[in-house]
Amino acid sequence: MPLDRDSLTLERLRPIITFVVIIWVIQFANFLLGYWLNDWFGLEPRDFGGLIGIPLSPLLHAGFMHTAANTVPLLMLGGMAAMASPKRFVEATLIIVLVGGALVWLMARGGNRVHVGASGLVFGYLGYVVALGFVERSFPAILAAAAALMLYGGLIMGVLPTDQRVSWESHLFGALAGIAAAWMLRSDKGATPHVS
């Protein structure tokens, strides 16, 4: 039996929806535990114990408001990334989380600072979707890039160090990792170049 359009859309969005549900389950557990999960599993720059935070810090947040602030853009931009490139969505997510997180671990402010939150992934999806429009040059990719810029282009200011409480490093390195993911996962990377 063939899948209808709604089933296909839901199937493509299932990973990002599942991820957001997991974030909220962890947020409730973290709240009940007095946020000690952030200390144990947050990303602490240049601390070997903080390496665990590279894959886990996007699941942790500083409170319900922090979680809520990341939820809508995560669903929107993650959904755009999933719809624009469903076969490469999981790979792109892993690149954004691991490369962006590794750069935060190497270069972000340290000194008892623990970086938590999914905003690095939000910025990564923004970078990925926009870069995919340039790299792929297909109508769906360009449309997704234009929509992402219209809806969330103002996020770009979040890569600047304007608030010491905010991990602008996660924003910056997430966006750069998203751009790298679009380039690394481009569909024409094995194509023969045109020579003029």
How confident is residue 4, by pLDDT bands cut at 50, 70 and 90?
low
For residue 165, the model assigns a pLDDT of 82
Q: Tell me, what amino acid is at 8?
A: L
CATH, range 5-184: 1.20.1540.10
Residue 151 CA to residue 155 CA, distance in Å, equals 9
Dump pLDDT digits (tens) for 85-97: 788 999 999 999 9
pLDDT for the residue 168: 92
Question: In terms of Cα–Cα distance, which of 121, 70, 134 is closest to 92?
Answer: 121
Euclidean distance between CA atoms 158 and 160, whole angstroms:
5
- Angle (CA) 43-44-48 rounded to 5° is 100
- Rounded to an integer, the average pLDDT of 58-64 is 98
Q: What's the confidence (pLDDT) of residue 159?
A: 79
φ/ψ (deg, to 5) at 188: -105, 20
What per-residue confidence (pLDDT) applies to 164? 79
* 130 and 144 Cβ atoms separated by less than 8 Å: no
Span 54-77, mean pLDDT? 97
Backbone angles phi, psi at 31, to 5 degrees: -60, -45
195 pLDDT band, cuts 50/70/90, is very low
**Position with higher pLDDT, 157 vs 188:** 157
